[in-house]
Structure 1
Amino acid sequence: MTVSLEETLVHASVNEATEKPLQNWLTNFLDQQPSYDVKVRTRRPRPRKVYCRSCQTETSKCSSCGEPFISNGEKGVDAALVTDLLSLAWQRAYDVAILVSGDADYVPAVEYVQSQGLKVINAVWASKGHDLRNACWGSFRLDDQVAALTRS
């Protein structure tokens, strides 16, 4: 069996205010590697309100420390990843996709791709993504690979 890795697509989101080193690594190092295509989207912190069903009140700050509640929602990463997974499957650009995620929202796309005779392997942390892992053709735990990913 011959395995050929022709392209690695990376979809990531970063908070520019707190994750500048990650953003720099993704754009200035990883994206410059042969066969890597890195797409970075920005997450912008937004204030959010929390609703308490018990007392039926809404608040935007923590009652203990007064800090505002912040939401760092990703914008577009999930849709971009599913678009690539489906469009590249339609083009028969891959036989096996490796999906590094634990997000069960990908299950329908994975099931469709696999119904077309392609395979999806899930790389996931042990405590995450049981539904996605079960939907995929195969999986491996990232926890077991961390030791091999050290810098020499």
Structure 2
Amino acid sequence: MNLPRRHTVLVDVGYLYAASGELVLGTPNRSEFKVDAEPLIHALMQLAAQRLGEDLLRVYWFDAARDRVPTIDQRVIAQMAQVKLRLGNLNMRGQQKGVDAQIRSDLETLARHKAITDAVLVAGDEDMLSAIEAAQSYGVRVHLWGVEPPYGTNQAERLLWESDTVFTLDADTVRPYFTATGRIRTPTPAEVFSGRPAIALPVSQVSVAPEPRPAPSRPIGPALPERVDIIDVGEFVAQKWILARGRDNIGDLLPGPKLPTVIDKELLVEAEKELGISLRQYEKARLWVRDGFWSRVYREFGMSRPHGEGEQR
């Protein structure tokens, strides 16, 4: 009895980003480019549908984060339909730990339980070989996808041998989703918490981050606080996020001033907690919170507010 054809897409994000950055921007360093991940994931879904049919189980997005605390971009990805975010740990050297094991575990489990007939694997590490062989032993066809290397190869030869089919993502396919940021490296933890700049800027433009300002006192009763107090709350929330999430993650929001929806909601919730009132009926107050947030972020990175740009509504 033949099972209806159903596929999944498993993506080693470290490989995909590094190989694509090398191909279209000349650097595998993730801190030197920004990835528009949501449309990239949708593009991979559509490509898989063209090659394998419309019945997609889900996309597994295997990435890493320090202490497995998701970054802003990863939190947005986790909200996507038919996408399962899997996080390994990112050590102090920027190396992924535990990601390969998660990929192997998920692929083998899906194959063993006959949840899929086909698996697209976007990866290059030979450590994936045992997972491919295990999945195939359960009758699953494994389709290895890689990114076109600018020279040589960026996938283990044995992976190419053992996979049922091999497909290459060329530069035209991945280029629309990768943009150079101008950053030259990922900041160290010491730089993140000392306020030293992590983006290459002329010395004249670099400003040292001020000491965290105390939270403004909460108003008594439901009355709306003054504009300056609400702006202060926006700055205070930004300062807390910088310390908790690191300058590199907050830098992913630049140049602003529009925030991803999920992050904007978090900002307003945090501001309401600090103010002790709901801002749902106060549109201007919500704009003031965002104004304070961006004022603090721009100051952290030694930037001036872009001229002619309105706040997020």
**Fold shared, TM-score > 0.5 on shorter chain:** yes
- The answer as to whether partners of 1:82 and 1:106 remain within 8 angstroms in 2 is yes
**Aligned partner of residue 6 in structure 1, secondary structure:** strand
- Whole-angstrom CA distance in 2 between matches of 1:133 and 1:31: 30
What pairs up with 1:48-127 in 2 under 5 angstroms? 71-126=93-148, 127=153
- Give me the CA root mean square deviation: 2.6
**Structure whose CA Rg is larger:** 2
Q: CA deviation at 1:84?
A: 0.4
Distance in structure 1 (CA, Å) of the matches to 2:161 and 2:85: 27
Higher relative contact order (CA closer than 8 Å, sequence separation 6+): 2
Question: Comparing 88-97 with 73-82, which one deviates more in the overlay?
Answer: 73-82
Query: Offset of 1:38 from its aligned partner?
Result: 0.4
Q: Is the 8 A contact 2:120 2:144 kept in 1?
A: yes
Percentage of identical aligned residues: 24
Bigger proportion of residues as helix? 2
**More moved, 29-38 vs 128-137:** 128-137
Letter in 2 for 1:143: D
Does 2:49 match 1:23? Answer: no
**Could you tell me whether the CA contact under 8 Å between 1:102 and 1:128 is conserved in 2?**
yes
Distance 1:74 1:111 in 2: 23
Q: Of the candidates 53, 57, 60, which is equivalent to residue 6 of structure 1?
A: 57
Runs of 4+ in 1 over 4 A off after TM superposition: 147-150
Counterpart CA distance in 2 for 1:99 and 1:12 is 14
Verify the 8 A CA contact 2:132 2:163 in the aligned structure 1: yes
Q: Secondary structure at the match of 1:93?
A: coil
Contact 1:102 1:125 in 2 (8 A): no
> For each residue in 1:44-73, what CA deviation from the matched residue of structure 2 results, as whole angstroms up to 9, or x when unmatched?
21xxxxxxxxxxxxxxxxxxxxxxxxx433
1:34 partner amino acid: A
Instruction: Give the distance between the partners of 1:74 and 1:135, measured in 2 at CA.
Output: 24
| Counterpart-to-counterpart distance in 1, 2:53 and 2:96 | 36
Residue 134 (structure 1) aligned to one of 153, 161, 184: 161
User: Residue 81 of structure 2 is aligned with which of 27, 34, 51?
Assistant: 34
Match of 2:297 in 1: none
Task: Report how far residue 95 of structure 1 moved.
Answer: 0.8
The answer on whether the counterparts of 1:102 and 1:133 sit within 8 Å (CA) in structure 2 is: no
The answer for the alignment partner of 1:146 in structure 2 is 174
Instruction: Provide structure 1 residue ranges, at least 5 long, that are not aligned to the other structure.
Output: 46-70
User: Which residue identity does 1:14 align to in structure 2?
Assistant: A
Provide the rounded CA distance (Å) in 2 between the counterparts of 1:105 and 1:79.
9
**TM-score, with normalisation over the residues of structure 2?**
0.35
Cα distance, 1:115 vs structure 2 = 2.4
Q: TM-score if structure 1 supplies the norm length?
A: 0.68
Displacement, 1:149? 5.3
Equivalent residues, number: 121
Partner of 1:7, secondary structure, is: strand
The secondary structure found in structure 1 opposite 2:71 is: helix
Q: Which amino acid aligns with 2:104?
A: V
Partner amino acid for 2:88?
R
